[in-house]
Amino acid sequence: MVTRREALVTTAAVAGGAALLTPGRASAQAAGNRTWETSYSGSKQPASVPPGQPGKDYQPVITPNGAALPWKVVDGVKVYHLIAEEVEHEMAPGLKARCWGYNGRVHGPTIEAVEGDRVRIYVTNKLAAPTSVHWHGIFLPNGMDGVAGLNQRAIRNGETYKYEFTLRQHGTFMYHSHHDEMTQMAMGMMGMIVIHPRRPTADYKVDRDFAIMLSEWRIEPGTMRPNPNEMNDFNVLTMNAKAFPGTEPLVVKTGDRVRVRFGNLSAMDHHPIHLHGYYFKVTGTDGGRVPVPAQRPETTVLVSVGSTRDIEFIADAPGDWAFHCHMTHHVMNQMGHDIPNMIGVKGGGIDKRVQPLLPAYMTMGQEGMGDMAEMGMPVPKNSIPMVGAKGPYDYITMGGMFTLLKVRSGLTSYADPGWYEHPPGERADLASQAELQRDGIQVPS
Ligand SMILES: [Cu+2]
Q: What is the pLDDT of residues 202-228, one digit of tens each?
A: 899 999 999 999 999 999 888 999 999
Residue 102 · residue 85 · CB < 8 Å: yes
Q: Is the pLDDT of residue 131 over 60?
A: yes
How much is the pLDDT for 349?
A: 72
> How far apart are the CA of 213 and the centre of ligand 1, in A?
12
Q: Facing residues of 162 across strands?
A: 122
Of 183, 419, 184, 172, residue with least CA distance to 319: 419
> How far apart are the CA of 343 and the centre of ligand 1, in A?
24
pLDDT averaged over every residue in the chain? 85
Whether a cis peptide bond, with omega within 30° of 0, leads into 107 is yes
Q: Which residue has the higher pLDDT, 129 or 39?
A: 129
Instruction: Categorize the per-residue pLDDT at 380 as very low, low, confident or very high, splitting at 50, 70 and 90.
Output: confident
> How far apart are the CA of 376 and the centre of ligand 1, in A?
25
> How far apart are the CA of 403 and the centre of ligand 1, in A?
13
> How far apart are the CA of 272 and the centre of ligand 1, in A?
6
How much is the pLDDT for 16?
A: 35
Do strands 300-303 and 271-275 pair parallel, antiparallel, or not at all (unpaired)? antiparallel
> How far apart are the CA of 141 and the centre of ligand 1, in A?
34
Cα 180 to the chain's mean position, in Å?
Answer: 22
3 state DSSP class of 361: coil
Instruction: Categorize the per-residue pLDDT at 348 as very low, low, confident or very high, splitting at 50, 70 and 90.
Output: low
> How far apart are the CA of 11 and the centre of ligand 1, in A?
39
How much is the pLDDT for 22?
A: 32
Element housing 217 (H / E): strand 208-217
**Counting runs of H as helices and runs of E as strands, what totals does the chain give?**
6, 23
Residue 114 · residue 57 · CB < 8 Å: yes
> How far apart are the CA of 273 and the centre of ligand 1, in A?
7
How much is the pLDDT for 104?
A: 97
Residue at 367: amino acid letter: E
Q: What is the mean pLDDT of residues 287-294?
A: 93
> How far apart are the CA of 438 and the centre of ligand 1, in A?
43
> How far apart are the CA of 274 and the centre of ligand 1, in A?
10
The DSSP code for 335 is G
> How far apart are the CA of 205 and the centre of ligand 1, in A?
29
Q: Is the pLDDT of residue 193 over 70?
A: yes
> How far apart are the CA of 241 and the centre of ligand 1, in A?
13
> How far apart are the CA of 239 and the centre of ligand 1, in A?
10
Phi, psi of 374 (to 5 degrees): -70, -40
Phi, psi of 397 (to 5 degrees): -95, 45
> How far apart are the CA of 175 and the centre of ligand 1, in A?
20
Q: What is the pLDDT of residues 242-284, one digit of tens each?
A: 999 999 999 999 999 999 999 999 999 999 999 999 999 999 9
Q: Is the pLDDT of residue 12 over 80?
A: no
Q: Is the pLDDT of residue 334 over 90?
A: no
Instruction: Categorize the per-residue pLDDT at 342 as very low, low, confident or very high, splitting at 50, 70 and 90.
Output: low
Q: Is the pLDDT of residue 434 over 80?
A: yes
Of 215, 233, 254, 212, residue with least CA distance to 336: 233
Q: What percentage of the chain has pLDDT greater than the value 90? A: 70
Q: Of the ranges 43-57, 171-185, 301-315, which one carries the lowest mean pLDDT score?
A: 43-57
> How far apart are the CA of 145 and the centre of ligand 1, in A?
28
Instruction: Categorize the per-residue pLDDT at 233 as very low, low, confident or very high, splitting at 50, 70 and 90.
Output: confident
From the number of C-beta atoms within 10 Å of its C-beta (0-12, 13-18, 19+), residue 297 rates as exposed
> How far apart are the CA of 330 and the centre of ligand 1, in A?
5
Q: Is the pLDDT of residue 200 over 50?
A: yes
> How far apart are the CA of 127 and the centre of ligand 1, in A?
29
How much is the pLDDT for 272?
A: 98
> How far apart are the CA of 416 and the centre of ligand 1, in A?
25
Q: Is the pLDDT of residue 42 over 50?
A: no
Instruction: Categorize the per-residue pLDDT at 190 as very low, low, confident or very high, splitting at 50, 70 and 90.
Output: very high
How much is the pLDDT for 352?
A: 75
User: C-alpha distances in angstroms, 444 versus 53, 433, 441?
Assistant: 65, 14, 10
Element housing 165 (H / E): strand 160-166
